[in-house]
Structure 1
Amino acid sequence: MANFTKEEIDVVVVGAGPSGIAVAACLNNLGINNVVLEKQDCCAYLWKKKTYDRLHLHLSKDFCSLPYMSHKTSSPKYMPKKEFIRYLDEYVDHFNIKPKFKTCVEAAFYNNQEKKWNVKSRNLTSGEIELYVSDFLILATGENNLGYIPKMVGIENFEGKIIHSSDYRSGEKYKDKKVLVVGSGNSGMEIAFDLSNYESHASIVVRSPIHVLTREMVYMAMLLLKYLPIYLVDTVIAIYAKFMFGNLAELGIPQPEEGPFSVKISKGRSPVIDVGAINKIKLGQIKVLPGISYIKEHTLVFDNGNEHQFDAIIFATGYKNIATKWLKDYSSIFLEDGTLINWKGENGLYCAGFSKRGIAGISMDAIAIVDDIKTIRGDKI
């Protein structure tokens, strides 16, 4: 029988990615007692072990810092993965954040009699059961939690390689292979570009309308949005993008009727930041294909009736929120599918990093959550 420990604490934070450490830093800054529980063996596990090699921040570092710690002036404007990970590690050290690693939360519920959160976790090293009793519970597991591969007709019959983008590192092992990328967001487009650079025969499925911009277009828009209404910024950037890329619909890449930043607000979809994929599509080095009808052993049949053979399929189809599996009553913050309703739930329950606003959104979430906790606690601080 596993050993059992119990600890009372002010705040439990679940997750030690950027969201979790941002919240912990804000709590530590006010001297609020907290514990950060992390299933993996390090902070920022996804950044360190589940991202592809050529990844860079798509936004300028000016919009990608966590609370109370800006990036160094010597850091590149668009930070590569290694540089950003170094920043996160320095952030953890600076704010004296000490997560409990290899600790998996198995259940959490609000005890109405005690007026406390009960969070049950398991130490994955010792097997020990740990119960935390707290006034506040903050879910900081974020949007990028569990890789999602959609159900498709015949997918179980495919005899080639199938992976999620979180397991992709580089195109080196796919040289001379026919590889299909499913998903035309930032990860999908960048992976297709990377595959092509390694001389694979890359194709990408583009099903839904998307906006394609450059990093500098987004940077300019972020500055303009401080002074101009969103519809005007959308108009200026859309004209700029059409001048830069031409009519992308002719390449099989339709665009939404709404402007790029209106779409971001209304639907939570970020524009695709082009890193070179569009030029390769124009040169025929990356093929654009429509939606998939069904999958056979070695080939895929597409919505236009065409059939193509592939050695591998890489799904850049996003992630699933799995907090709903262990949180007993999540109705005040999530829908059944894990979609965020509110950043603040009932009885001291909060969400950080689910707002689809990137690192800047994580910072805003962390500050708002801890300010709210400070207000509720009053003179306890």
Structure 2
Amino acid sequence: MDCWREMEGKRSHDPLFQESWVWVPGPIIVGAGPSGLAAAACLKEKGVPSLLLERSHCIASLWQLKTYDRLRLHLPKQFCQLPLMPFPEDFPMYPDKRQFVSYLEDYAQRFKIRPVFNAAVESAEYDGVAGAWRVRTERGNYVSRWLVVASGENAEAVVPEIEGVGEFKGGVIHTSSYKSGEVFQGKKVLVVGCGNSGMEVCLDLCNHNAKPSIVVRDTVHVLPREMLGRSTFGLSMWLLKWLPVKVVDSLLLLVARLALGDTAQLGLERPELGPLELKSLTGKTPVLDVGTLSKIRDGEIKVCPGIDRLTDEGALFADGSTENFDLVILATGYKSNVPSWLKERDMFSEKDGLPRRPFPNGWKGEHGLYAVGFTKRGLLGASIDARRIADDVEKLWNELIAITSSPLTTL
């Protein structure tokens, strides 16, 4: 009786007992982008149910809401399809944004994946007493033995602090707000960032008769999207089956030099490490050229050094030069937001929100915690993670089914 009274006393003071919690028999998956959908589909194939929580009102919100109109997959479709369902045969080698979103919608429909939308996760924490994860959202609270983090590497826009931004009279936007260069016809636009997005935005601006310049602060590898009649990525993967990374890098750079010329003469110095070795060590992806280099070579896109500060009319660059602009577009990428809601510090780094252990070992943590889509290897890496997670959870799921259905349990 005393123990019962003590428990009742705790219930009256413990916030957990004041809230309503929904038990989820299978994993809770945070994020209904391609990674979350892949994890849910692989689990369903194993007979394991799951619950997807999505902060937006649609699946693949990054693709649907925060990408520019001309976006296409940078890699051939066979390297970007999710597990258990290939792209339609009539899709082009590089599906565009609309086609990719329709593929994801068909994928969700095929596997009967129905996320809970507008359910931004406020916190997720492991309860050692209950042996389960408690996940609080804007829509309700959930409990499960398993938690799959699928919010991705690109959850939040990276907006760097640039001195003088408050003085600049023109607009400053991130690429997550950029749709098309059509509205910037005749405008002088400074694009900050020379990755794939920055290069493509510059090309799009050119195609709409704007006047873009691009800030190139660091070294960058630019490769043709296709080499020797094959996709550069596909050729690289094939060569890596037979040759060391350094040899493959040398071959790629040789072909790139023949196809694109010396990019250093255009203000695009190459890193000392080869493109594949650099990608493996740092996650920095080489730029796959789709026409931007020719615009730079023809003078339609100007290459600028790093920005020292913005002025009221434009920018002061690191070399002391100045230039006026009507708009600044930040092609400065995205970052993980995991540290803002996951109350766990062993698996995920507080610094960058990525798994501490590099690929291929970053998909599994302790106490039923998993990660999908944090490999820095695109959709192919997410698919590998999703399959591994499903295989692992299936074993535990079957063990639980066996225990609960045994005669001793039901007595």
TM-score interval, normalised by the smaller of the two chains:
over 0.9
Tell me how far apart the structure 2 counterparts of residues 189 and 137 of structure 1 sit (CA, whole Å).
37
Q: What is aligned with 2:90?
A: 74
Change (3 A) 1:303 1:215: same
Identity of aligned residues (%): 44
Tell me how far apart the structure 1 counterparts of residues 120 and 350 of structure 2 sit (CA, whole Å).
23
Tell me how far apart the structure 2 counterparts of residues 352 and 6 of structure 1 sit (CA, whole Å).
24
Q: Report the residue type matching 1:354 in the other structure.
A: F
Between structures 1 and 2, the one with greater strand share: 1
Matched, 1:308 2:323: yes
More off after superposition, 112-121 vs 222-231: 222-231
The correspondence for 2:190, drawn from 180, 204, 216, is 180
C-alpha deviations, 1:309-363, integer Å up to 9, x for none?
1111111111121121111123322233323313322211111111111110110
User: How far off its partner does 1:5 sit?
Assistant: 4.9
**Which residues of 2 match residues 1-381 of structure 1 at below 5 A?**
4-123=20-139, 130-216=140-226, 217-341=232-356, 342-380=362-400
Is residue 182–residue 188 contact of structure 1 (8 Å, CA) maintained in 2? yes
Tell me how far apart the structure 2 counterparts of residues 145 and 161 of structure 1 sit (CA, whole Å).
23
C-alpha deviations, 1:237-269, integer Å up to 9, x for none?
100001111111111100011111111101101
Is residue 193–residue 214 contact of structure 2 (8 Å, CA) maintained in 1? yes
User: How far off its partner does 1:45 sit?
Assistant: 1.0
Q: What is aligned with 2:5?
A: none
**Unaligned regions of 5+ residues in structure 2, if any?**
1-17, 227-231, 357-361, 402-411
Size of the aligned set, in residue pairs, is 374
Tell me how far apart the structure 1 counterparts of residues 263 and 150 of structure 2 sit (CA, whole Å).
37
Is residue 333–residue 344 contact of structure 1 (8 Å, CA) maintained in 2? no
C-alpha deviations, 1:28-76, integer Å up to 9, x for none?
1111121000011111111112111111111111111111111122211
Query: For the aligned residues, what is the CA RMSD?
Result: 1.6
Q: Equivalent residue of 2:146, what SS?
A: strand
User: How far off its partner does 1:3 sit?
Assistant: 8.7
Is residue 224–residue 259 contact of structure 2 (8 Å, CA) maintained in 1? no
Q: Report the residue type matching 2:380 in the other structure.
A: A
Is residue 224–residue 260 contact of structure 2 (8 Å, CA) maintained in 1? no
TM-score, length-scaled by structure 2:
0.88
C-alpha deviations, 1:196-243, integer Å up to 9, x for none?
111111000111111111221333223322333222211111000011
Q: Equivalent residue of 1:250, what SS?
A: helix
TM-score, length-scaled by structure 1:
0.95
Q: Equivalent residue of 1:280, what SS?
A: helix
More off after superposition, 229-238 vs 357-366: 229-238
More off after superposition, 295-304 vs 214-223: 214-223
- Higher Cα Rg, which structure: 2
Tell me how far apart the structure 1 counterparts of residues 90 and 240 of structure 2 sit (CA, whole Å).
26
Q: Equivalent residue of 2:24, what SS?
A: strand
Tell me how far apart the structure 2 counterparts of residues 273 and 369 of structure 1 sit (CA, whole Å).
31
Tell me how far apart the structure 2 counterparts of residues 65 and 337 of structure 1 sit (CA, whole Å).
27
Tell me how far apart the structure 1 counterparts of residues 83 and 397 of structure 2 sit (CA, whole Å).
21
Tell me how far apart the structure 2 counterparts of residues 86 and 22 of structure 1 sit (CA, whole Å).
15
C-alpha deviations, 1:122-145, integer Å up to 9, x for none?
12xxxxxx1111011111011111
Is residue 14–residue 37 contact of structure 1 (8 Å, CA) maintained in 2? yes
Is residue 245–residue 276 contact of structure 2 (8 Å, CA) maintained in 1? yes
Tell me how far apart the structure 2 counterparts of residues 70 and 157 of structure 1 sit (CA, whole Å).
50
Tell me how far apart the structure 2 counterparts of residues 279 and 292 of structure 1 sit (CA, whole Å).
24
**Unaligned regions of 5+ residues in structure 1, if any?**
124-129
Tell me how far apart the structure 2 counterparts of residues 340 and 159 of structure 1 sit (CA, whole Å).
40
Provide runs of 4+ in structure 1 moved above 3 Å. Answer: 2-5, 375-378
Q: Report the residue type matching 2:68 in the other structure.
A: Y
Change (3 A) 1:5 1:373: closer
